[in-house]
Structure 1
Amino acid sequence: MNARDRFLAVLDGVQPDRVPTFEILIHPTVVEALCPGGNHADFLEKMDIEGAITGTPSSLYAKTVVDREKHIVRDEWGVTRGVGTEVVPMPMGGPIETMDDLRDYRAPDPWAPGRLQQLEDLAARFRGQRALGVHLHDSFSYPTYLMGMDKLLMALHLDPDLVRALVDLSVEHTLGMIEHAAKLGAEFVLFGDDYAATAGPLMSPKSFEEFLLPGLRTVVAAARERGLRVIKHTCGRISPLLDMIVDTGINALHPLDAAAGMDMAAVKRQYGDRIAVCGGINCGEVLSDWTPEQVREEVRRRLEELMPGGGYIMSSSNSIHSRVRPENYGAMIEALHEYGVYPA
C-alpha cells in the first residue's frame, strides 16, 4: 500500500498495512523546525503523513485589514477576526443580528477563482500518492460566525426561524464547496464544526437534532454521493450526540479527546463496525510538555489499545499548535511508523 491507499483503506473499513496519520492543522514553527526551508507539502512528504488536507476553512477566504495595530481583519463572510499567534484568526463579530440583515446578505461564492487553490496545489503534488482532503464547515460554524456564538445559542429559543435560515445558507454554500472540491480531485472531506465543550454539548440533544442535524446529514450525503469519504471533527464531550452523528453516514470521527471525557476505545468498540476513529495523542500535555521518550511510550500504548482490527487513524487530540514541541511531534511520527505496522 502507498500512503493514499493506506489512509483511504481505513475510511473504507479495510485494515491497512500500517496505521496512517494526518493533522487538521500543523503550525508553521513545527514545519520549519522539522523541515527547514520547506513548505507544508514538503513537510507532509518528509514525515510521510498519509492525509494531505487543506488548511482550516478560514484560510479559504480572502481577508482585508480593519485595524492594523490591533491585528483585526474582515473576511469574505463579513466576519471580523483577531489575528494572533495561532494559524486560525479568532472570530470577533458578524454582520447578522436579525432576519432583515440576512435578507440582504450574500455568502461568498464557492466557485470563485482560487477558492480551492490549496486543494489544487496538493493535487498537483500528491495525486495518487497521498489522500487528498478538504476541510469545510457543515451546519454550525458559519451561523456562529455570522451572529456570534452567544447570540446564536440564544436565538435557538428566541428566533428559531433566523437560526434555520442561517443553517440553510451555510449548507447551501458548503454543498457548492463539496461539488467544487470533488471536481478538483478531493478524496475525503473533513467537516470541522465543534458541537461541544469539555463539559458537554453547547446545546441540548433535542436542539441539535432539530437545528443542526438535518444540515449535517445533507452535507454528509452530498459528499458521499460524489465519492468523498467523510471525517467529522468536533471537539468536546459529544457522548449525548454520538448516535445521531454516526447515523449521518460519516466514515470517521475525530478527535474524541480524552481531556473532554471521551473514551476512544469505548467508541471504537461500540461503533467500530460503522466508523473509524481518529486521534489519540494529547496535544495539550503529551505533545507540549512531555519528553520525546515519553511520547514514544504513549504512542506505543495507544496503538496497543486502538489499532487491533484496523479502523484507527492516529493524530493529535486536536492539532499541532504553536506550543507543541517539534521534537515531540517527530517522536510521535517515528514511533507510529515503528509500532503501528500490522502483521503481514
Structure 2
Amino acid sequence: MIPRERILRALYGEEPDTVPLFEIEINAPIVRQLLGRIPTDALDFYEVYSGYGLDGINFWDNFRLVKTLDEKSFIDDWARMWSIEENEVTYYVRGIIDTEEDFEKFSPPDPFNYDRLDRLRKVIKNNKYWLAVVGGIHDAFEIPSQMRGVNNFLIDLYKNPGFARRIVETSVEYNVELAKAMIDLGVDAVISGDDYAYKHGPFMSVKHFREFIAPYLKKIVDEVHRRGVPFIKHCDGNIWPILDDIVNTGIDALHPIEPQAGMSLREVKQKFGDRICIVGNVDVTNVLPLGTTEDTVKDVKRCIEEAANGGGYILSSSNSIHNAVKIENFKAMIRATKKYGKYPRI
C-alpha cells in the first residue's frame, strides 16, 4: 500500500495495512542532522520524511516579512512581531494591533498570492514516493489572538466582541481561500494548527468558544469537505471541555492528544473513535527528548494498543519533532511503528 493511501484510509476510519506515521513538523535542526547537510528547499525536507518512512508531509502557510526591526526580529504580514533565536526557531513576541484604528489601517495578506504555495507545489510535482501531502492553515484563534496579543484578544471577547469578531472573520476568510488554493493544487488533506487550550483547560469559556471559534472552524471544515478533502484539527492542551464542540464541527481527525495535558488517548478513542481519526500521542515532552530507545518503543506500543484497533489511527508524536528530541528516539519510534503496527490486529 502506498503511503498516501495508508494515511487516507486511516483518516476515513479504516484499517490500512499498517499504522500510518505522520508528523506535522520536523524542526530544521533535526532535518539537518538526519539529512547530513543544511536543508535549502522543500525537497530536502521531503527527502527526510520519505527516506525515514513517514507516510505524509505537511507544509504550513508561511508568514511573510514586511519590516525588519533588527538582525533577530521582524514584523510579518499579519501584524505580529517575531524573534529568531539561536536554536533556529522563530518565536512569537507580540501583536502590533493595539487599537481598532490600527486594525482599520491593516491590510491582510492576499490568499491568491500563490507564491505562498511554492513549497507545496514543488513537493506535489515531485512526490515520487506517493506521500500524503498535507496543507497547513489556521482558523479562528491563532492569528486574531496573536495580532492583538492573547490577553487583549481574550478581553475583547468580553468587552469588545464586535472588534474580536471582525478580526476572526478576517482570518477565517483568508484561510478558507488558502485552503481552497491548496486543494486545487493537489493536497490530500488540510490541517488547521490553532491551539485553544493550556495544559489545564481552554483559554476561554465554553460559551465564548461556541460563539467565536466553533462556528468559524465549522465554516472552514465545510469548505474543505466541499472540495472532497479530509480535515485534520491540531490542538494542544486539555480540550476536554470543548472536545464535543470541536468534533461536532465535522473534523475528520484530531491531533495530537497531549498526554501532559490530561488527554487520554484511550479515552478519546473510546468516546470519539467511531466519528474521527485519532492522531498522536507518543510523548514528546519526556520520552522522546529525555527517555531511552526502550522507553520510546514502550510508548509506541502503548499508543498502538490504545488506539489502533478498528482503524482510524495515525501514530505521531504528541506535538512535533522539536529540537530537543533525540535522533535515536525518533528513529526508534519509526521502527517500532513499522514492527508493531500491522493490521489486522486482535
Residues in 1 aligned to 2:63 and 2:58: alpha-carbon distance in whole angstroms: 12
1:157-187 per-residue CA deviation (whole Å, 9 max, x = no partner) reads 1111110000010011101101111111011
User: 1:218 aligns to what?
Assistant: 219
Is 1:11 aligned with 2:11? yes
Residues in 1 aligned to 2:24 and 2:100: alpha-carbon distance in whole angstroms: 34
User: 2:34 aligns to what?
Assistant: 34
User: 1:301 aligns to what?
Assistant: 302
Residues in 2 aligned to 1:279 and 1:87: alpha-carbon distance in whole angstroms: 25
What secondary structure does 1:212 align onto? Answer: helix
| Range with bigger deviation, 109-118 or 94-103 | 94-103
Stretches of structure 2 lacking an aligned partner (at least 5 in a row): none
1:276-329 per-residue CA deviation (whole Å, 9 max, x = no partner) reads 111121111100011112211221222122211111111001110000001100
Instruction: Report the alpha carbon displacement of residue 64 of structure 1 after superposing the two structures with TM.
Output: 4.2
What secondary structure does 1:150 align onto? Answer: helix
| Range with bigger deviation, 71-80 or 272-281 | 71-80
User: 2:271 aligns to what?
Assistant: 270
**AA at the equivalent of 1:77:** W
Counterpart mapping for 1:1-344 below 5 A: 1-37=1-37, 39-55=44-60, 57=61, 59-62=62-65, 64-68=67-71, 71-85=72-86, 88-126=89-127, 129-343=130-344
When residues 52 and 204 of structure 1 are mapped into structure 2, their CA distance, relative to the original with a 3 A threshold, is same
**AA at the equivalent of 1:292:** T
Q: 8 Å contact 1:27–1:86 — kept in the other structure?
A: no
When residues 145 and 134 of structure 1 are mapped into structure 2, their CA distance, relative to the original with a 3 A threshold, is same
**AA at the equivalent of 1:65:** T
Q: 8 Å contact 1:52–1:122 — kept in the other structure?
A: no
1:99-122 per-residue CA deviation (whole Å, 9 max, x = no partner) reads 222222211001114111111122
What secondary structure does 2:315 align onto? Answer: strand
TM superposition score normalised by structure 1: 0.95
Residues in 2 aligned to 1:94 and 1:28: alpha-carbon distance in whole angstroms: 25
Residues in 1 aligned to 2:141 and 2:87: alpha-carbon distance in whole angstroms: 22
Percentage of matched positions with identical amino acids: 36
What secondary structure does 1:313 align onto? Answer: strand
Q: 8 Å contact 2:7–2:20 — kept in the other structure?
A: yes
TM superposition score normalised by structure 2: 0.94
Q: Which consecutive aligned stretches of 4+ in structure 1 deviate over 4 angstroms post-superposition?
A: 85-88
| Range with bigger deviation, 98-107 or 276-285 | 98-107
**AA at the equivalent of 1:287:** L
What secondary structure does 1:207 align onto? Answer: helix
Q: 8 Å contact 1:138–1:216 — kept in the other structure?
A: yes
What secondary structure does 1:200 align onto? Answer: coil
Aligned Cα root-mean-square deviation (Å): 1.6
Instruction: Report the alpha carbon displacement of residue 128 of structure 1 after superposing the two structures with TM.
Output: 7.7
Q: Number of residue pairs matched?
A: 340
When residues 87 and 180 of structure 1 are mapped into structure 2, their CA distance, relative to the original with a 3 A threshold, is farther
